[in-house]
């Protein structure tokens, strides 16, 4: 079945990484894939555009089905292969609600991290303001406190939505992994750092670890001065 799948991806991209973790968790190793360099703008190639008018990755194809948004691709894989591999969405509606809540809250954490870590990349030099970056940092610190509180409430050794690994973890771990890499002070998110240490050696995560992170484990210190 996996041989009928094709994933276009870029290394280090949280959206791409989460789809790759989902594929591993659903025991779909052996899928076809094509690595595209962001530096060379390879994700804007005609091959991707033919499937994804936004020319973004991940772009995922299974037979005649094309799914381009990472959350959608992850949920599709769980739905199509529900009885295979790790069960990522629980049956219980109450448990489901928390999984979905944490999944979609990940967008807040990811955007606020980007707003600080990649401020100079996204904002043209003439438009950069120290006051804006300061506000972004304050917003990120508040967001980290929120997530730390979630894990504190769940109890030591918990995953993001309970005692089992779920789609919430698939979706959010690639974002959380950026914090230690970019030297975020541990005091801002001690529970998240414990969570990161607990999950970083999970087989699905190790198998899909970003290529350049293997070569250079530490990234720039863009989160050092929060």
Q: What is the pLDDT of residue 137?
A: 97
- Tell me the domain boundaries of the chain: 2-81, 93-215
Give, in order, the Cα–Cα distances in Å from 215 to each of 72, 132, 209, 225. Answer: 30, 33, 11, 25
Is 93-215 assigned to CATH 1.10.260.40?
no
The pair of structure tokens assigned to 162 is 């309970």
Residues 14-27 have a mean pLDDT of 98
Q: What is the pTM of this model?
A: 0.96
Q: Tell me if domain 2-81 and domain 93-215 are identical in fold.
A: no
- Tens digit of pLDDT for each residue in 93-120? 999 999 999 999 999 999 999 999 999 9
Q: Which fold has domain 2-81?
A: Glutaredoxin (3.40.30)
Give, in order, the Cα–Cα distances in Å from 60 to each of 5, 41, 57, 207. Answer: 7, 18, 8, 18
């Amino acid at each position: 079945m996996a041989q009928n799948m094709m994933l276009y991806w870029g290394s280090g991209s949280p959206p791409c990484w989460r789809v790759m973790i989902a594929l591993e968790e659903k025991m779909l190793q052996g899928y076809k894939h094509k690595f595209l360099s962001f530096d060379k703008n390879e994700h804007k190639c005609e091959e991707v555009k033919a499937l994804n008018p936004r020319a973004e990755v991940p772009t995922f194809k299974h037979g005649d089905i094309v799914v381009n948004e990472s959350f959608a691709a992850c949920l599709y894989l769980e739905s199509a292969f529900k009885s295979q591999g790790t069960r990522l969405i629980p049956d219980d509606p109450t448990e489901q609600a928390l999984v979905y809540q944490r999944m979609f809250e990940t967008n807040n954490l990811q955007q606020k991290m980007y707003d600080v870590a990649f401020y100079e990349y996204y904002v043209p030099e003439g438009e950069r303001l120290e006051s804006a970056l300061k506000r972004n940092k304050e917003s990120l610190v508040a967001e980290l406190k929120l997530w730390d509180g979630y894990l504190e409430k769940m109890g030591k050794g918990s995953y993001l939505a309970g005692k089992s690994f779920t789609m919430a973890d698939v979706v959010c771990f690639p974002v959380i992994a950026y914090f230690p890499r970019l030297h975020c002070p541990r005091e801002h998110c001690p529970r998240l750092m414990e969570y990161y240490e607990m999950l970083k050696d999970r087989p699905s995560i190790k198998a899909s670890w970003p290529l350049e992170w293997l070569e250079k484990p530490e990234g720039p210190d863009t989160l050092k001065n929060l």
